[in-house]
Amino acid sequence: MRILYFSLGWLFFIIGIIGIFIPVLPTTPFMLLALWAFSRSSMRFHNWLYHHRLLGPPLQKWHKYRVIPLPAKIISISFMSISFVFLLMFLPLAMWLKISIAVVMLYGAWYILTKPSRIPEKPDDLAPK
């Protein structure tokens, strides 16, 4: 089982790296998935990714404070909206499927928008337990 999680960790990591160069593909969610997979397979790679000079800070902010930066919120909500408009206008899908996709996207948007955009003033008081 460890080899499966280890392989998933590298797969998510590679997809996340690709996301750095392709604006439509988010980086941090894939790095979070890689971190999760490495936590189940290799603490060495988990610690390496968590403390990485460039990739580590967003992962640490999410882990400690559940922060989603405002630019990431704007980009994610914008791309969800554009995707849904494209889906409505150009894809011949059944109405129940379009409604289902809309519900999932609305839930995703709600989740993103309910998370803080910055580290709280008193970070120790508001950290998840």
Q: Mind listing the pLDDT tens digit for each residue in 2-50?
A: 999 999 999 999 999 998 888 777 888 899 999 999 999 999 999 999 9
Locus of tokens 């997809």 = 15
- Determine the residue type at 87: L
* Per-domain boundaries in the chain: 2-65, 70-114
| Cβ neighbours for 28, distance < 8 A, ≥ 6 positions apart | 16, 58, 59, 62, 72
DSSP designation for 27: S
Contact 40, 5 (CB under 8 A): yes
Residue 128 has pLDDT above 70, yes or no: no
Give the pLDDT band of residue 123 (cuts 50, 70, 90).
low
For residue 51, the model assigns a pLDDT of 97
Instruction: State if pTM tops 0.75.
Output: no
Q: What is the pLDDT of residues 52-85, one digit of tens each?
A: 999 999 899 899 999 988 888 898 899 889 989 9
